[in-house]
Amino acid sequence: MKNYQSNQLRNVAVVAHGGSGKTSLVEAMLFNTGTLSRLGRVEDGTTTSDYHPEETARKMTIHTSLVPVEWNKTKVNLLDTPGFSDFIGEIKGSLRVADGALFVISAVDGVQVQHEVIWDMAGEMPKFVIINKMDRENANFDKVLDSLKEKFGANFVPLQIPIGAFNDFNGVVNIMDEKAYTGDGKGKEVAVPGDLADYLATYREAMIEAAAEGDDELTMKYLEGEELTPDEIRDGFRKSVALGKVVPVMACSAIKNIGVAQILDLIAEYFPAPKVEEGPMASLIFKTIADPYVGKMNFLRVFRGQLKTDAPVLNVKKEKLEKIGQMMYVRGKATVQTEVVPCGDLAVLVKLQDTGTGDTLADKDKL
């Protein structure tokens, strides 16, 4: 895995009620990059995220997995978290190191208990919502959208709406670009279906209004009745997302891999990049596991400066120096060594002596 600049990174906590399709969605995203030769399935225990034996046995996520997806010029670090309430502690750590939360909601089951719990945990942080399982019987995008508005009262604005539902679900429309795509994977661009014209117009208006709230200049322009340029709409919308003023909503089917590649495009374009802090290195450990092959693995995010393997680091809380042995990027259970981790990126340190979840590592003599 090559190194990415901070502004090319997207750190995304994928969160939801159990069984909404997080792991299947992450798998489909990775599949679309060409990294996998076939799309794994939770049922078969063949996904990239659910690789621990207890996960394949129970067919659910128990440990948060880090799955970087390299898409166009960005690296989307997906944190596939467990939805089952017993493992709620896992989500806290992921939210601390993500720049936004991506909620996955079943188009059939709608908003469920754990969605509400996690929504509260996520507080003011930027959020995306994916309405998944559009291929299932009784899938209903509008109904879920209404219940989102009712439950959470945020400004939910569709950025990608479904073409059809259940057996007829065969594509998506991008509201920003007014483009339609059908088929799986990257799909084929087609004309926007006539029966969606009204939706498109309504949602586009809502999207422009949300974009206008992104900064004062745009707000003034909008209120004075001037038309915003396409670039202004994009920039304004991106800013509104980062400020938590708008929550974009997208539709897909993870299992059929329809609308998923288009969601990756939208994440690359509208999900906030990490904020870069210059200065002495500082990083946070958000998860520690004992891997039977690799040993103790500490997952971290670099919040300031960059992390290199050449010098010992200080565990601030425990006031102990740690020698950095191996540093690696991971994708599920796959690992690859790296010598440097840039600001904003997520990586793993192996075999640290005294360091565990919640600890901070810093440059030893530059605090």
Ligand X SMILES: Nc1nc2c(ncn2[C@@H]2O[C@H](COP(=O)(O)OP(=O)(O)OP(=O)(O)O)[C@@H](O)[C@H]2O)c(=O)[nH]1
Closest separation in Å from C-beta 95 to ligand X: 15
Of the candidate residues 20, 32, 61, 253, the single one contacting Mg ion (CB under 5 A): 61
Binding piece for Mg ion, criterion CB under 5 A, among 55-63, 113-121, 202-210, 345-353: 55-63
Which does residue 43 bind out of ligand X, Mg ion, none, counting CB within 5 to 8 angstroms by kind? ligand X
- Nearest approach in angstroms of CB 299 to ligand X is 18
Backbone angles phi, psi at 79, to 5 degrees: -105, 105
User: Closest CB to ligand X among 267 and 281?
Assistant: 267
61 or 174, CB closer to Mg ion? 61
Q: 174 forms bridges with which residues in the sheet?
A: 160, 179
Minimum CB distance to ligand X, residue 237 (Å): 26
The closest alpha carbon to 323, from 294, 295, 283, 350, belongs to: 350
Which of Mg ion, ligand X, none does residue 20 bind to, with CB < 5 to 8 Å depending on kind? ligand X
Chain residues 16-45 in contact with Mg ion, contact rule CB under 5 A: 22-23
Binding-site ranges for ligand X (CB under 6 A)? 16, 18-24, 42-43, 60-61, 82-84, 132-133, 135-136, 253-255
Q: Which does 338 bind (CB under 5 to 8 A by kind): Mg ion, ligand X, none?
A: none
Binding partner of residue 305 among Mg ion, ligand X, none, CB under 5 to 8 Å per kind?
A: none
CB of 42 to Mg ion, least distance (A): 7
Cβ neighbours for 17, distance < 8 A, ≥ 6 positions apart: 83, 105, 109, 112, 113, 114, 115
Closest CA to 124 of 104, 105, 100: 100
Of 264 and 352, nearer to ligand X (C-beta) is 264
114 binds Mg ion (CB under 5 A): no
State in angstroms the smallest separation of the CB of 104 from ligand X: 6
Residue 307 CB, nearest distance to ligand X (Å)?
30
Query: Taking CB within 5 to 8 Å according to partner kind, which of Mg ion, ligand X, none is near residue 84?
Result: ligand X
Q: Distance between CA 136 and CA 253 in Å, rounded?
A: 9
Other C-beta atoms closer than 10 Å to the C-beta of 58 total 13
- Closest CB to Mg ion among residues 55, 265: 55
Cβ proximity of 351 and 296 under 8 Å: yes
Q: Within 10 Å of residue 68's Cβ, how many Cβ atoms?
A: 24
Considering the complex, what minimum distance in angstroms separates the CB of residue 332 from ligand X?
Answer: 13
Whose Cβ is closer to ligand X: residue 47's or residue 77's? 47
Tokens linked to 238? 């991106």
Residues engaged in binding Mg ion (CB under 5 A) = 22-23, 61
